[in-house]
Amino acid sequence: MREIALPDVPYSATAQRPDWHDLPAGLRDAIGGRLGAPVAAATSAGGGFTRAFAAVLTTDTGERAFVKAAPLQDPTAGWYAREFAVTAALPAGVRAARPRWTMAEAGYFVLCLDAVDGRVPELPWSPADLDAALGAWSDAASALAEPPPDLLAAGLPRLPDLIRDELSWWSEIAAGREPMPVTAPRWVDSRLGDLAALERALPALAAGPGALHGDLRIDNLLIDEGGNAWLCDWTWSCLGAAWFDTVTLLVSAYASGLAVDDLLPPWSAPAGGVDGVLAAMSGYWLVQAAAGPVSASPHSAQHHRFSGTQALSWLADRRGWATG
């Protein structure tokens, strides 16, 4: 078994968010009005990297809901509006919190979803939690293989386009248009051409008609008391091959020392596709890590550095590359 690698801060404790009483009084009153009673308690979400409010709210009558709020001028407000559109259209086979309502009040956009009683999985992954996560994604991928019309109407981008436009950093570095990130291991210099080639081949391999989560990682999952996994934060849903999300999720399982390649066969992922995902995502993550924290959470750079390093290590293992 490989040595286990862990991030400096657990994914359940990366967020730095405003508290309930940091929100404007008029906004708090409006939220309580939509919930049907004043809010008596608020438990902030510990995971995530945005600066926005996100908490499970409990009213005087015991009603519970998960509420997110962001200033209207903040890009996060648009993300929450998109999350509402996507989650409202998810088919029944997807285990995800369903949206209740949205509103704009006191300069904020508010998204209300059903509350899920659950916890963010801990690292290193336990086999039971990982099995639950992969099972939930397998069920969701089957349900999303033919996306319903309402979901397609939300305007899902195509994964190949996203890869070309946003996940081709090694190619940019190889072309001299971007500097090598200081977060990249030294051995990457000798494999830059290989990494760029894997990126360039990935769009054709990752194309597909099914809908994806698009950001499947450990802190976008909750495990409930029954051991079932719930898929959260559907802002970045897109159209492509389901195994793309599987590989991104398994990066943290690789860091946990697990035999992740043994978990891939059910997904029918081509070897070049798996390697392409690891190449493309490692470049994106390490470039983001070199840029430093770009959100209210100082731990975003940690997440990017940890994920990028582990993705590269997994890729090097698969390819037999020397990293010494």
Does 206 map to a domain?
yes
Single pTM value for the model: 0.96
Per-residue pLDDT at 140 exceeds 80: yes
Does 2 map to a domain?
no
End-to-end CA distance of the chain: 19
Q: Do you know the residue count of the chain?
A: 324
Quote the longest CA-to-CA distance of the chain: 63
pLDDT tier at 194 (50, 70, 90 boundaries)?
Answer: very high
Question: In which residue are the tokens 């090097």 written?
Answer: 316
Q: Do 152 and 123 belong to one domain?
A: yes
Q: Do 162 and 294 belong to one domain?
A: yes
Q: Do 205 and 262 belong to one domain?
A: yes
What CATH number corresponds to the domain at position 50?
Answer: 3.30.200.20
* 33 Cβ contact list (under 8 Å, min separation 6): none
- The angle at the Cα of 211, spanning 165 to 265, to the nearest 5 degrees, equals 95
Q: Do 99 and 228 belong to one domain?
A: no
Question: Which of 48, 61, 122, 286 lies closest to 188, judged by CA?
Answer: 286
Question: Distance between CA 88 and CA 82 in Å, rounded?
Answer: 10
- Domain end marker among 113, 144, 166: 113
- Domain end marker among 113, 137, 170: 113
Q: Do 104 and 130 belong to one domain?
A: no
pLDDT digit string, tens, across residues 108-126:
999 999 999 999 999 999 9
Q: Which domain holds residue 106?
A: 11-113
pLDDT digit string, tens, across residues 285-299:
999 999 876 666 788
- Domain end marker among 113, 139, 167: 113
Q: Six-digit token pair at 293?
A: 């924290």
pLDDT reported for residue 2: 80
Q: What is the CA radius of gyration of the chain?
A: 20
What phi and psi values does residue 259 have, to the nearest 5 degrees?
A: -80, 75
What CATH number corresponds to the domain at position 281?
Answer: 3.90.1200
> Mean pLDDT across the stretch 6-22?
92
Question: Which of 83, 31, 76 lies closest to 49, judged by CA?
Answer: 76
Helical axes 300-319 vs 243-255, angle rounded to 10°: 100
Does 5 map to a domain?
no
Q: Six-digit token pair at 28?
A: 């708090």
Q: Six-digit token pair at 117?
A: 């009683």
